[in-house]
Structure 1
Amino acid sequence: MNMQFTEEQEMLRKFARDFMTDNCKKEYVRAMEKDEKGYSDEVWKGMAELGWMGLVFPEEYGGQGMGFFELAILLEEMGRACMPGPFFSTVVLGGMTLLESGTEEQKKAFLPQIAQGNLKMALALTEPAGTFTPDGITMSAKSQGDQYVLNGTKLFVNDAHVADWFLTAARTHAGTSEEGITLFLVDAKSPGIAITMLKTIASDKQAEVVFKDVKVPRKDIVGTVNKGWPIIQRIIERGAIGKCAEMIGGAQQVLEMTIQYSKDRVQFGKPIGSFQAVQHHAANMATDVDGAKFITYEAAWMLSEGLPCSKQISMAKAWCSDAYQRIMTTAHQIHGAIGFTMDHDLQLYFRRAKAAELAFGDADYHRELIAAAMAM
């Protein structure tokens, strides 16, 4: 079994690593946590010029024509660097959904603009129930002539404050089942939308978005009326494996930081890395990192090839969520008190690991899906 990346994929990784090293230093990450927007236009423009926004879009829409596997490589490097900004919301959640389920008119209108870095999107899915199941969607969408009127509240909407368009799930038919859910493209500047920023553990940009009598034309429906849940499931799956890619990037960086610290930190006249207990801790971390990489890239490859992979995605998300927590706990043990200070970089990864653990379903949620896939 050949697990090596192609020359083109290695080149993508190198370019991404070099770009992050030059443009996403930890000083920048810390500054963007406090910045109102959360990213710089200069860095965003640089990413667009490298073709990252359109990496997975066909050339006819201004993209590079690559697959999700290559996108996972890029996301891993972003996770390694703690790259802030609306890339994940715009490309993974928004653009890829339109590529798969949008009309030709929607693709031509949105994808080239995303590829050029001129358009940003946000997914408005979760509500106060905080679930990733159909019964958690209660926002109403009432038919009114040639448009729908949306009313309801969405929570934990990443990058809502900078989005040009929302990809919004609402009920066009009352109930709690999969039937009756429709996906809409909503202009973020529409009257009746109110955005309130939330304080989060990762200091990322999440918001509460309230829709009050927001009018959406019928042409802005993604997919079919009342049949939006299968599309949402695909969004959750892409989001879950995308987060896994970010997590393995962060986990690899934490492992390297911890190994270097254990070599530099001297106690009792010798580096703490020479002690067997510390060595075993580092070995456990390395085992978790490599296991997370293999299970993530297997699922990413299957998704890229169009193979059925719902179970593999859930396996990856469940494993990576737990593994990253173990890696962070062990890293803090080896670093000792210095690792708990805000001046140290370790806390940047710890906080993002906790946020990623919950994104698109925690480990228990995905274990339930795995069990269901095994007909249990």
Structure 2
Amino acid sequence: MVAGESSGDLLASRLLSGLRPQLPDARIHGIGGPKMAEYGFHSDWPMEKLSVRGLFEVLAHYREIKGIQNALCDMLLAERPAAFIGVDAPDFNFGLEIQLRQAGIPTMHFISPSIWAWRAGRIKKIAKAVSHMLVVFPFEEEIYRKAGIPATYVGYPLAEVIPLEPDVSAARAALGLPAAAKVIAVLPGSRMSELKYNSVAFIQGAQRILQRDPSVRVVVPMAGEKQRAYFSALLAQAGLGDVPLQLLSGQSHTAIAAADSVLVASGTATLEVALFKKPMVIGYRMMRASWQVMRRMAYQPWVGLPNILAREFLVPELLQDAATPEAMADALWSQLNDDTLRRRLHQRFTDMHHSLLRDSARESAQAVLQLIGRKAAA
């Protein structure tokens, strides 16, 4: 198995929670994180080596990442595992899966790349790479079956983990936040490249909210200590070190549950925020050269997963030059002070949550067992 970042680690751990009881003695290894390790997974390389985002950012690390891919491929071709499962990280995993599948090793990919959001030419490459695709949105299954690629809809794993009615009071108590305060959670991303381009603008946006209402509380969860140190250094360099923030190590779900509104980088975190039924403003910046390429690839108007699933702009998307501190602050301020909007979003996100609920651990484990020719234990 290969997962390339914290969200993939979490998704893979859900699969492993269903698979490990069925295969208690199996050796499961590759590249992954601490949540996968809880189920006896061994990571041959640190997962952080793959946690790079953006076309040109990846190029800067290309030699190291390609070296890891080649070494892992050689290892697996010699070992000939019962199956390989790539978890997200499509740029790394599809190249690996093509080589393994050509050598007769069954390959599975968990989480479809956004072929429905970006140009769909990728599906030809996927057909070469993947023996079976596990998808997390209902509409994806038909897309793959039309392309002749076996696919199973397993539900969105976090829809089972996140409660239908999150306990706001408990989350605030856990973080020491006043029950009646207005709270904003700021999630600038888990990758170092996301922090580089989002952190300063996001916190400048929060700073403008605090200038309007100093009683607002701002919580900022960090994916790890390395991210926390880098984030703090970026703020210090920008003269933002004295902005009153509550910086957290992990605890992103607690921060989201406690919040009245969330400023979040585009990505899977946007769907987590929706599952917590929270208003959000989606912001995202990247290297300008990467943005110029990516913006030409889009063929639908939405980038955020909640908007894509709703097929409308439920929440604002402020991307690249539009992601100014003023624009983000204005959008957050509107959400904090519009109770009708908040009630409407809560209902829409509740309906979305119900649509994504399935027993993903059991469904995904069953698909793996079928791929390797094993029957599930009673």
- Is the shorter-chain TM-score for this pair beyond 0.5, marking a shared fold? no
What TM-score do the two structures reach when normalised by structure 2? 0.24
What TM-score do the two structures reach when normalised by structure 1? 0.24
Higher relative contact order (CA 8 A, sep 6+): 2
